[in-house]
Amino acid sequence: MGLMKRILEEQMFSGRSSGGYHFSNDNPEINLKRTGVFSGISGQHLLKKTVNLDAFNKDVRAWGNKTASVLRTTVKSRFSKGKTTNRIYRSGIHQGKSERKLAGSIRAKFRKEPGGEQIDTIGFNLERHGVFLQKGVGRGYVAQGGGVARIAKSEDAKAFRNKDDWFNGTLQKRIPELSEIIVKHTGNAIVLNTKRMFIQ
């Protein structure tokens, strides 16, 4: 049981993988990459002349903030029996650390390309138990062989629990609107890269 406890703690608190168990992409983000003649440093001035970056960035920020709001609403409606206050760890390796309620932790964040003016990444901050809910892990459950297995001692005979698609499904529904924003402002100068968008 000592080995399994260590595996679980590594997953839940440090993000490291061990023994074949792992969490991937705990920090979901969407990339907006320049393409063709607009890509690379040499194409940056051309993009500025072709695209109104202030208007583009404004609409991208509005989309990201609205998406974060939709995610918060989704959490409140689907997990009404969750924690009602922030939690302070009283013992263990995270003693004193504050864990916020999931809905209150969700925020959109934006990064611009190095030395550039265009937003090229939209990310979402959230407490890690939001990742556990999406994956169906935590509180003694681990990812195992493409599923989720319980390793902690419990009187509950269930060995698996279901994932709750609160994040990926919600974000998927919001992506078409972002695609429309990109096409409206940039045509084919910028493409949407969703490779790291979902919690895996």
Q: Across residues 18-27, what is the average pLDDT?
A: 45
| Bigger pLDDT: 17 vs 137 | 137
In the block, tokens 């005979």 appear at 157
Look at residue 98 in the predicted model and tell me its pLDDT. Answer: 64
Each residue's pLDDT tens digit, 102-155: 888 899 999 998 888 999 999 999 887 787 788 777 666 566 555 555 565 555
**Is residue 152 included in any domain, yes or no?**
yes
**Is residue 107 included in any domain, yes or no?**
yes
Q: What are phi and psi of 120, to 5 degrees?
A: -120, -5
**Is residue 23 included in any domain, yes or no?**
no
Look at residue 4 in the predicted model and tell me its pLDDT. Answer: 43
What the block records as the tokens of 168 is 């990926």
* Enclosing domain of residue 189: 2-8+29-79+86-193
**Is residue 98 included in any domain, yes or no?**
yes
Look at residue 106 in the predicted model and tell me its pLDDT. Answer: 92
Q: Is the predicted pLDDT of residue 41 greater than 70, yes or no?
A: yes
What the block records as the tokens of 197 is 């968008």
| Tally of structural domains, the chain | 1
**CA dist., res. 65 & res. 107, Å (int):** 7
**Is residue 147 included in any domain, yes or no?**
yes
| 151-155-160-162 Cα dihedral, nearest 10 degrees | -120
Q: Across residues 57-83, what is the average pLDDT?
A: 90
**Is residue 199 included in any domain, yes or no?**
no
Share above pLDDT 70 across residues of the chain, in percent, rounded to a whole number = 64
Cα 188 from chain centroid (whole Å)? 26
